[in-house]
Amino acid sequence: MFKDLSHDLAVKPTRDERTRQEFVASLRHHVLDDMAATMRRRYEVKVAPAYARDHGHAPATGEEAHDAMRPDPYFQFYSALRYNAQEMVFRSVIPMIDRNVESLNARVQEKLADPQAGGSVSVDPAFAVPRSVTEIDVHLAPGSYHTEYAPDDATGGAIYDNAINVFSFNQMGRDMDDIGHSFANWLRLRYPDFRIARMLDAGCTIGHNTLPWKQTYPEAEVHAIDVSAPCLRYAGARARSKGLEVHFHQMSASALAFPDASFDLVFSSMFLHELPLKDIRAFMREAHRVLRPGGLLLNMELPPNGRLQPYDRFYLDWDCYYNKEPYYKPFRDQDFVRLCTDAGFAADKFIEAVMPRYTYNSPQAFADDVSAGPAFDNRTGRFSQEIRWYGFGAFK
């Protein structure tokens, strides 16, 4: 079930490392699929009826569903396993990267120095990385996104690339890029007349979901920003190893160093839920500023709590309570239309997108689903084989 990274920054694991990574990927698959299904049934059959007997009503909010589940031994076992599997994701890849720091950084530098290659990487040694990244090991990643272990280090990017390969147990695309392919193709099919001359991906990490935009819209000039220098160096080298031209910049999404009306599309994926609310608001205002009239802001994200049943709210907020993602629930508690209108977009320009995974379906099945319009159901945003990605945004 486990596949090696498909580009030439891939590091070869020893047999033991490989076995460990496969074990952790299988464990996550078991917890997130099999145990999650059992836990949901248990809630419906046992936990929610017991709560209703004690309280005179069934759990009506995500918080009440969480309160109902907290004493349940199966939920406790699920949480303990899932938390430990998350730590094990990083433990299963860091020793392999540690053994290869020098050769990996040399390969990255060689690619970044290639005068024939397109695209660019600009990092700023004086850049102040936000405390929301530096003060917590975000989703239990040791050193968060920003830590540098050597001069011009790129190992943070390598750890992320290899970790997400284990974490996703083959559910996020061959190159962990299904979200990028899905959203780029959704836009192509849903708005065939929409032209992209210049686009921005905010919070790109290693650019895995940026590159599909260049593949889908080859004429576009693609820019991507992040606050993490090691991830951006790795992203630049990774894009070059795939022959794709992207411009990576170390920059905060809350203060974009781009002129007004300079992009047709501002995209982000899995980004907003890692920002404090004030930074989300600042980014949305900046997105509105840098979009040309008629341009589109499109955020792939987890669905808002207001659209889900109490159990699904609780289930998706697990990461906020137990996975060092403190901004996750405050973001999902927002009204997403309001987030857009507060940033300057008109309410009638708000859009939502719900779609199956592009690289796991036939192009025809994907196109049929897109033309049917956004169908929200309890697979939306749930990390499983049946996942349907969710997105929202607005035209300027």
Ligand X SMILES: C[S@@+](CC[C@H](N)C(=O)[O-])C[C@H]1O[C@@H](n2cnc3c(N)ncnc32)[C@H](O)[C@@H]1O
Is 316 a binding residue for ligand X by CB under 6 A? The answer is: no
Under the binding rule (CB under 6 A), the answer on residue 203 touching ligand X is yes
Binding of residue 254 to ligand X (CB under 6 A): yes
Stretch that binds ligand X, among 9-17, 252-260, 353-361, 387-395 (CB under 6 A): 252-260
Beta strands in the chain (DSSP E): 120-122, 198-202, 221-226, 247-250, 263-269, 291-301, 350-355, 389-395
Backbone dihedral region of 203: left (phi > 0), alpha (psi from -120 to 50 degrees) or beta?
A: left
Amino acid at 220: A
Please choose, out of 115-123, 250-258, 326-334, 374-382, the segment that lies near ligand X by the rule CB under 6 A: 250-258
- Under the binding rule (CB under 6 A), the answer on residue 269 touching ligand X is yes
Q: How far is Cα 243 from Cα 230, in angstroms, rounded to an integer?
A: 20
- What is the closest distance, in whole angstroms, from the C-beta atom of residue 335 to ligand X in the complex? 22
Calpha distance 138→144 (Å, rounded): 5
Is 164 in contact with 158 (CB distance < 8 Å)? no
Stretch that binds ligand X, among 37-45, 93-101, 263-271, 385-393 (CB under 6 A): 263-271
161, 274, 312, 319: which one binds ligand X (CB under 6 A) = 274
Whose Cβ is closer to ligand X: residue 106's or residue 257's?
257
Amino acid type, 276:
P
User: Considering only CA atoms, which of 293, 287, 289, 292 is closest in space to residue 271?
Assistant: 287
Interface with ligand X, residue 155, by CB under 6 A: no
Q: Does 24 bind ligand X (CB under 6 A)?
A: no
Nearest-CA neighbor of 267 among 342, 168, 186, 148?
A: 186
**Measured from the CB atom, is 165 or 228 closer to ligand X?**
228
Cβ pair 188, 296 in contact under 8 A: no
Nearer to ligand X, 254 or 380 (CB): 254
Q: What are the backbone dihedrals phi and psi of residue 338, each rounded to the nearest 5 degrees, phi first?
A: -65, -40
Q: Identify which range of 53-61, 268-276, 314-322, 339-347 contacts ligand X by CB under 6 A.
A: 268-276
State the residues that interact with ligand X by CB under 6 A. 130, 133, 145, 179, 202-205, 209, 225-228, 231, 252-254, 269-271, 274-275, 279
